[in-house]
Chains A and B, each alone.
Chain A
Amino acid sequence: MTSIQSTARKRSTPTRPGDRIFRGTSIAAALTILATLAGVALFLTIEGIPGVLASPDEVKHGTTFIDYVVPLVFGTLLAAVLALALAIPVAIGVALYISHYAPRRLASTLGYIIDLLAAVPSVVYGVWGISFLATALVPVYSWLERTLGFIPLFAGPPSATGRTILTASIVLAVMVLPVITALCREIFLQTPRLHEEAALALGATRWEMARLAIFPYARSGIISASMLGLGRALGETMAVAMVLSASGVITFNLISSTNPSTIAANIALTFNEATGLTVNALIASGLVLFLITFLVNFAARAIVERRKDFSGAN
C-alpha cells in the first residue's frame, strides 16, 4: 500500500507545478505554526526568566518562584484531572448515543444542542457556577462529609457556599464535554460501515459491535479529543477564577472552602494589580503551564503512536 503511494508521489511531484505549489503552501502553513509557537515560547521565556530568578522580597507573593508555583501546578492538575475523569466517560457515552443509539432523525438535533454548550462564554459558565451549581451542591457536600468524611477527599468542613475545587471541576467538565463529544461523534460516525456490519453479521450485539469495531478504530481520535479537552481544562481562566474559592494551598480535600488555585485562574486574578517582577513571575507560571501541556501531550502521543494501526491513512 505504502509503496504504491510513494511511487505515485515520486512520479508526480517534479512534473506538476500544481503539486509543487500546493505542497509548498502546506509546508508554509505548518512552518507558520512553528514560528507562532516559537514566538510564544520566546515571549514566555524572555518575560518569564526574571520572574523565576526574582528574590522573595522583590515580588508581591514574597516567596521563591518554586514555592509559589508548586501549589498552583497541583491545583491545575487536580482540577483538570477531575474534570476529565468526569467528562470523558460521559462524552463518549453521549457521542455513542448520538452516533449509534439515538433515532437517526433526532440524532443531528441532539448533536446540535450539545454543540451549543461549546458556545456559552466562560463568563456565563462562571455566573452559572456561582449562582446555580455551587448553591445546589452545598447539601451534597455536607452529606458527603457526614457519610464519607473518613475518606480524606471528603474530610470537610464542607464549604458554606459550595464554591470548591470539585464544583470548579464540574464546571470545567461541562465546558470540555462538547469539545470531546463533537470530535468523538464525528469519529464514531466515520467507522467503516463494513466493519460494523461484519460484526453484526457475526452475531455481535450492538455493544459488542461498538467494542470490536468502533472503539479500536476510534481510539486515537478519542485520545486526541480528550487532549483537546484537557487543553481547555488546563487553560480555562475566567470560569475557574469566578467559581473557585482559591487560597494557594495543597490539599486533596475536595469539599472545603480552602482550595488550591490553578495557574490560569491565578494569572487572571493577580495580573490586573501586578507590577514589575510580579508580572514576570506570573508569565513564568504561564510558561510552567505550557510545559505541563507539553509533557501531558508527549505522554498522550506515545500512547497513540503505539495504537496507530487502525487509522485509515497510514
Chain B
Amino acid sequence: MTSTLQPTSPPTPSPEIAKSLRGRSLPTWAPKAIGALSVALALVGVFGPVGFWLVFVAWLVAAIVPLWSMFVEGRRKATDRFVTLLVTTAFVIALFPLGSILTTVVTRGAPVLSSDFFTYSMRNVLGEGGGIYHALMGTLLITAAAAAISVPIGLFTAIYLIEYGEGKRLARWIRFLVDVMTGIPSIVAGLFAYALFVIFFGPGVRMGVGGAVALSVLMIPVVVRSCEEMLKLVPNELREASYALGVPKWRTIVKVVLPTALAGIVTGVTLAVARVIGETAPLLIIAGLTDSVNFNLFDGRMATLPVFTYFSIITPGVPPGPSIERAWGAALVLLIIVMLLNFAARLVSYFFSPKGER
C-alpha cells in the first residue's frame, strides 16, 4: 500500500517552495541510511561489549531524521517522520521483553526436550529423567474442552449482541456483564468451579472437566469481547446487500458476516486459548496434580503443564536441578503449543476468509 500511495506534497505550497509544485524533501537514501546506522548501533549496544547506553545513542541518531526534515520539509512532514520514529520505537521497546523472555525460555528449555520428555510421565520418577506426557495430555484435553464450551457460547453471544440485541436492554446488560467477567481473578474462577462441582459430586472432587469449566469462565469474556469487536467492524453495506437479495438473516450471518470477520474471530479465539492455557491457580484447585497419565476428563486428577511447571519450580526437591530443567522444558512446550495453534489459526483464516482487498 505504501509503495503505491506515497503522500504527496501539501496542496497549498508555502512561499519558499512556490517555485515548484513539489516541495523540497530529504534525499531518499537519508532516512534509510540513518535508520540502518541506528539499528547497527542498537545491535552493538544489546549484544556487543560496549554497554546498554549505546541503545539510547542509537535512538538519538534516529531522531536526526525528523529534525533534519523539520528544516528541509516543514512541520507536517517532520511530524510524520517523528511519529514513524515513535511507532517504530514502540515496536522495538516491545521486542526487548519479548526477546528476553523467549531467549530465556528457549535456551533453558530446549536442552531438556527429548523423545523421552514427550512420552514419559512423572510416575515413579525421582531426580533426573521423566517427562511431561501426562501434563501435556491433560493440558490438551482440558483446554480443548474449555474451548469447546466457550467458543460456541462466546460466539453466539457476540452474534446476539451485534445482530439481534441492538438497542435492547438485555444486550446492554450482557455487554456490561461480559466486561465485568474479564475481571474475575483466575483463582476465584477455580473456587467457583470447585464449589459448583462439590454440589454434584461431593467434597474433594477432582475432575479435568471442572478445570475446563473454570477456564471457560475466564475464556468466555475474551471470546465475546474480541468476536463482538470483529463483528462490529463488518460493514453494514454487506448485510444490507444480502438482505436486499432476499437472503434470510441467519444465512446472512453465517454466509456473509461470519466469513468477513473470520480472521479476527480466529485471532480472538486463539488469544483466548493462549490466555487460559497458562493458568495455574484454578487448575490446581479443581483438576489437581498427579504423576500419572489420565485421559478421562470426567474422573480423577489430571496434571496440566502450568501446574506441573509451577510445582517443579516451587518444590524442586534435592538437588533442584533436574526438576527446574523440566519446568523450563514444560514452559517451552506450552509456548510451542500456542505457536502451533496460532499458526493453525492463520491457516484457517487464510483458507476460509473471503479474498478481500487486503
**Chain A residues, Cβ within 8 Å of B251:** 18
B147: interface (CB < 8 Å): no
- Which of the 9-residue segments A93-101, A144-152, A244-252 touches chain B? A93-101
In Å, the complex CA distance between A225 and B152 comes to 21
**Chain A residues, Cβ within 8 Å of B86:** 93
In Å, the complex CA distance between A183 and B275 comes to 13
A303: interface (CB < 8 Å): no
In Å, the complex CA distance between A300 and B339 comes to 32
Contact of B229 with A187 in the complex, beta carbons under 8 Å: yes
Known: A33-B224, A192-B235. A290 touches B94 (CB 8 A): no
- Residue interface bits B253-276, CB-to-A below 8 A is 1, else 0: 110000000011001101100110
Question: What is the CB-to-nearest-CB distance from A160 to chain B, in angstroms, rounded to a whole number?
Answer: 21
In Å, the complex CA distance between A301 and B177 comes to 11
B170: interface (CB < 8 Å): yes
> What is the predominant secondary structure among interface residues of chain B facing chain A?
helix
**Chain A residues, Cβ within 8 Å of B90:** 89-94, 96-97
Closest partner residue, chain B, to A227 (CB atom): B179
Give which listed residue, B164, B191, B306, B343, contacts A26 with CB less than 8 A.
Answer: B164
Contact of B250 with A23 in the complex, beta carbons under 8 Å: yes
Contact of B192 with A43 in the complex, beta carbons under 8 Å: yes
Known: A119-B334, A119-B338. A227 touches B182 (CB 8 A): yes
The bracket for how many chain A residues form the interface is 35 or more
**Chain B residues, Cβ within 8 Å of A289:** 183, 185, 188
Closest partner residue, chain A, to B83 (CB atom): A207
Contact of A33 with B177 in the complex, beta carbons under 8 Å: yes
Contact of B183 with A294 in the complex, beta carbons under 8 Å: yes
Question: What is the CB-to-nearest-CB distance from B160 to chain A, in angstroms, rounded to a whole number?
Answer: 4
In Å, the complex CA distance between A313 and B233 comes to 7
- Residue interface bits A32-61, CB-to-B below 8 A is 1, else 0: 111011011001100100000000000000
**Chain B residues, Cβ within 8 Å of A93:** 86-87, 89-91
Contact of B84 with A122 in the complex, beta carbons under 8 Å: no
Contact of B217 with A123 in the complex, beta carbons under 8 Å: no
Known: A94-B91, A124-B309, A186-B267. A293 touches B182 (CB 8 A): yes
In Å, the complex CA distance between A210 and B188 comes to 41
Contact of A123 with B278 in the complex, beta carbons under 8 Å: yes
**Chain A residues, Cβ within 8 Å of B89:** 93
In Å, the complex CA distance between A32 and B152 comes to 11
A73: interface (CB < 8 Å): no
**Chain A residues, Cβ within 8 Å of B339:** 116, 119
Known: A44-B188, A93-B90. A120 touches B335 (CB 8 A): yes
Contact of B263 with A294 in the complex, beta carbons under 8 Å: no
Give which listed residue, A90, A205, A313, contacts B80 with CB less than 8 A.
Answer: A205
- Residue interface bits A1-31, CB-to-B below 8 A is 1, else 0: 1001100110011001011011101111110
Closest partner residue, chain A, to B8 (CB atom): A203
| Most central of B97, B153, B235 by chain A CB within 10 Å | B97
B127: interface (CB < 8 Å): no
In Å, the complex CA distance between A49 and B254 comes to 45
A70: interface (CB < 8 Å): no
Contact of B94 with A238 in the complex, beta carbons under 8 Å: no
Question: What is the CB-to-nearest-CB distance from A12 to chain B, in angstroms, rounded to a whole number?
Answer: 5
A268: interface (CB < 8 Å): yes
Known: A12-B248, A290-B180, A293-B183. A30 touches B174 (CB 8 A): yes
B326: interface (CB < 8 Å): no
Contact of B235 with A297 in the complex, beta carbons under 8 Å: no
In Å, the complex CA distance between A290 and B309 comes to 28
Known: A30-B156, A33-B177, A271-B187. A182 touches B182 (CB 8 A): no
- Residue interface bits A147-164, CB-to-B below 8 A is 1, else 0: 000000000000000000
**Chain A residues, Cβ within 8 Å of B153:** 29, 32-33
Contact of B176 with A297 in the complex, beta carbons under 8 Å: yes
Contact of A313 with B162 in the complex, beta carbons under 8 Å: yes
| Most central of A27, A28, A232 by chain B CB within 10 Å | A27
Contact of B233 with A312 in the complex, beta carbons under 8 Å: yes
**Chain B residues, Cβ within 8 Å of A234:** 183, 185
Question: What is the CB-to-nearest-CB distance from A286 to chain B, in angstroms, rounded to a whole number?
Answer: 4
In Å, the complex CA distance between A297 and B177 comes to 9
Known: A121-B278, A179-B275, A203-B9. A267 touches B342 (CB 8 A): no
Given contacts A112-B343, A122-B306, 8 further A-B contacts (CB under 8 A): A44-B188, A101-B84, A116-B342, A122-B278, A124-B105, A133-B100, A181-B94, A300-B179
Q: List 18 A-B contacts (CB under 8 A).
A: A5-B243, A18-B250, A22-B249, A29-B153, A39-B192, A119-B342, A120-B278, A123-B306, A128-B100, A128-B101, A183-B229, A209-B7, A224-B228, A230-B183, A235-B184, A293-B183, A297-B182, A313-B162
